[in-house]
Structure formats: structure tokens, C-alpha cells
Amino acid sequence: MRKKINITKSVYEICKDYPDVIEIMKNLGFESITNPGMINTAGRFMTIPKGASMKNISMDKIREEFAKNGYEISGE
């Protein structure tokens, strides 16, 4: 069964619900997500699409990586 992630939620909320997302996002190029201070500050208002735009990471690549790890993305 796939886990569902609503990408309109903040990175903080998603990581709180699914801690393994931190490693997935780190592997995608969001290196600073491993810093707890970053999740607790910027992560409270940052969404995955906003972060992807800032880091120049395609949403297709993000969807593909999350799917490989058993996640389904919703909220687009």
C-alpha cells in the first residue's frame, strides 16, 4: 500500500508524519533538510513545490523518486 503525501502541506508537516521523507529529499538535492533547525524554521512554511522551484529540481523527478520509495503524491 502506497503512502500518500499532500504536497500542499509544509515540509515540516510531511516530515513529522513520514520521517523517511527526509532521506528521500536529501537524495533529491535538498541537503539542508537534514538540519533539524531548518525543518523547524523554514520547513514550517516551505512546501515541496516551492523548494523544488528554488533548487531548480523538476517535480517529475520528485514524483518519480517518491514513487520508487512507495509514496503517492497528491495536492497538485
What is the identity of the amino acid at 71?
A: Y
Print the domain residue range for 52: 3-74
Nearest to 48 by CA among 37, 59, 40, 60: 59
The pLDDT value given to residue 36:
87
pTM: 0.89
Grid look-up 514513487 returns 67
Q: Cα-Cα-Cα-Cα dihedral of 4, 60, 70, 2, to 10°?
A: 30
CATH number, domain of 15, equals: 1.10.3910.10
pLDDT 10s digits, 2-59: 899 999 999 999 999 999 999 999 999 999 999 989 999 999 999 999 999 999 999 9
C-alpha cell at 32: 539542508
Number of domains in the chain: 1
Compute the distance between CA of residue 24 and CA of residue 62 in angstroms, rounded to an integer. 9
